[in-house]
Structure 1
Amino acid sequence: MSELENELLNIVGLNELKVQLRKWAKGMLLDERRRALGLKVGARRPPHMAFLGNPGTGKTMVARILGKLLHMVGILPTDKVTEVQRTDLVGEFVGHTGPKTRRKIQEAEGGILFVDEAYRLIPMQKADDRDYGLEALEEIMSVMDSGKIVVIFAGYSEPMKRVIASNEGFCRRVTKFFHFSDFNSEELAKILHIKMNHQTEESLLYGFKLHGSCSVDAIARLIEKETTEKQRKEMNGGLVDPMLVNARENLDLRLDFNCINADELRTITLEDLEAGIKLLTP
């Protein structure tokens, strides 16, 4: 459970989802104890889900963490997450969509199939238009009772209603709906801190750190001051990466070329962050 809690620290907000993950983890551990005592208990079914919310609210990132967590607690045999969109599933001609979708399903077996912008499978159209998105959805639905895969459908809340209404078995199979709210300034500041603390070697920010003055409160005040509510709602977590990249560039501009102080060379200040976020404002 401690490993689970460490992973949950990387998810900002989404308390409802965190509670559900703790239920699954504790349930799996209790099932192990039940079996150790000779009790016979039924196997848990993989939970299919819908992630509803605006872009940048962390749906894809949470799906990746979820893959690790469901594997960790024994619900899935692997931690792989196969991310797909309409173009990965739907063919242009009759007979193309079924095989194309089945290949992706097979690729995802043992893990999560994450269908991003799932509402694009059921576009708004006239009755006489021919579209193969529904065929792809039906292919996915046909394997959701097999127990070999967890499917997560993701997209804007309102258009996703088309997907839910398009197949009568949707709500029977997809039993968990999680709403991803827009991030406020404090949550965006927490995300920035998490990103800086978990940089990989491939990241442009790898090896850099925040100055001590860059507390969550200070960054939250900066974001609140330099962005509009509309901008925060449109960008959400997508605001953080370009802000950090711009801040690093400002650090390079600010430093004297002859600087040999290792700490100064890798420390991003509140001034750098302010310059970085101002470049995002039209």
Structure 2
Amino acid sequence: MAQLDELCGLETVKAEVRSLMNLVKVRQLREEAGLPTPPLSLHMVFLGNPGTGKTTVARLVAGLYKSIGVLSQGQLVEVDRAGLVAGYVGQTALKTQTVLQSALGGVLFLDEAYALAPGDSPNDFGREAIEVLLKGMEDHRKDLVVIVAGYPGPMERFLHSNPGLESRFNKSLFFPDYTAGQLLEIFRSLCQKNGYTLSPEADTKASAALQSLYDHRGESFGNAREVRNFFEDAIARQADRVAGLSAPSREDLMALLPEDLA
């Protein structure tokens, strides 16, 4: 939970995960006390744009479920359509079953899940993968959690594409875009973790650049991924600048100056 709390923003997501953990813990206590426990689906839908922390939270959820004894292993297996669907008849089921086996005891995280059910292709092999997934979720319901993720609109259509999906994925978490201030916080964190110092002028320039990035974001805005790209561009420019110094000091090696930022 401490790792979850350290994440930038995502206050609603953190609160919902905490609430879910409480629900599971109390359910376990009721079982131990011999009290009835209503069915509880632990599978989830993560809705949001890229770079909003969905994979990171899925990994933390896997660890949390392991820590309270819901899952035996707690590993996270990430997969997308390409990891489940084969190009010819009969192979998709085998491919999907192999992935399911690797995820037993942990969390299977299916990103851009809607790609399995393209609306314009009723004979698409993705539908076979969905059927195998649903069967696997039923067969291994005591030791497998599946989290599907993607953009809100397409994910809604995906869940409506198969009655089994709607019934099993009844909990959704929404991951909002980071604000400009949170993007700056993420950038400062990247600098600190990687041993770079921002001069006050560089910090001001970074703030303005990330504000502009946020103000002009489009549908495919990458959030934290955009910040990482911004950071990597900055350290590349810094390297070009520092390489030209005759005897750079430790401070020179660490300092990010305004001219290092785009």
TM-score range for the pair, normalised by the shorter chain length? 0.7 to 0.9
Give the secondary structure class of the aligned counterpart of 1:131.
coil
Picking from 122, 133, 136, the partner of 2:129 is 136
Give 1:260 deviation, angstroms: 4.0
Indicate yes or no: 2:4 matched with 1:11. no
Give 1:228 deviation, angstroms: 4.3
Provide TM-score, normalisation by structure 1: 0.79
Give the secondary structure class of the aligned counterpart of 1:154.
strand
What are structure 1's unaligned runs of at least 5 residues?
199-205
State the partner residue of 2:223.
Answer: 236
State the partner residue of 1:268.
Answer: 256
Q: CA offsets, 1:229-257, max 9 Å, x none?
A: 22596232221112111111222233352
Instruction: State the aligned residue count.
Output: 258
Report which stretch shifted further, 16-25 or 213-222: 213-222
Indicate yes or no: 2:7 matched with 1:23. no
State the partner residue of 2:240.
Answer: 253
- Change in Cα spacing, 1:219 to 1:9, as seen in structure 2 (3 Å) is farther
Give the secondary structure class of the aligned counterpart of 1:171.
helix
- The Cα RMSD (Å) is 2.9
% identical aligned pairs = 29
State the partner residue of 2:103.
Answer: 108
Picking from 153, 160, 185, the partner of 1:165 is 160
Report which stretch shifted further, 170-179 or 43-52: 43-52
Asked if the contact 2:9–2:182 (Cα under 8 Å) also holds between the matched residues in 1, the reply is yes
Give the secondary structure class of the aligned counterpart of 1:52.
strand
Query: 2:93 and 2:29 mapped to 1: Cα distance?
Result: 42
Give the secondary structure class of the aligned counterpart of 2:44.
strand
Query: 1:173 and 1:65 mapped to 2: Cα distance?
Result: 21
- Change in Cα spacing, 1:28 to 1:234, as seen in structure 2 (3 Å) is closer
Query: 2:22 and 2:205 mapped to 1: Cα distance?
Result: 37
Give 1:30 deviation, angstroms: 5.3
Indicate yes or no: 2:57 matched with 1:62. yes
State the partner residue of 1:203.
Answer: none
Give 1:158 deviation, angstroms: 1.3
State the partner residue of 1:89.
Answer: 84
Query: 1:147 and 1:194 mapped to 2: Cα distance?
Result: 38
Give 1:91 deviation, angstroms: 1.7
Asked if the contact 2:5–2:14 (Cα under 8 Å) also holds between the matched residues in 1, the reply is no
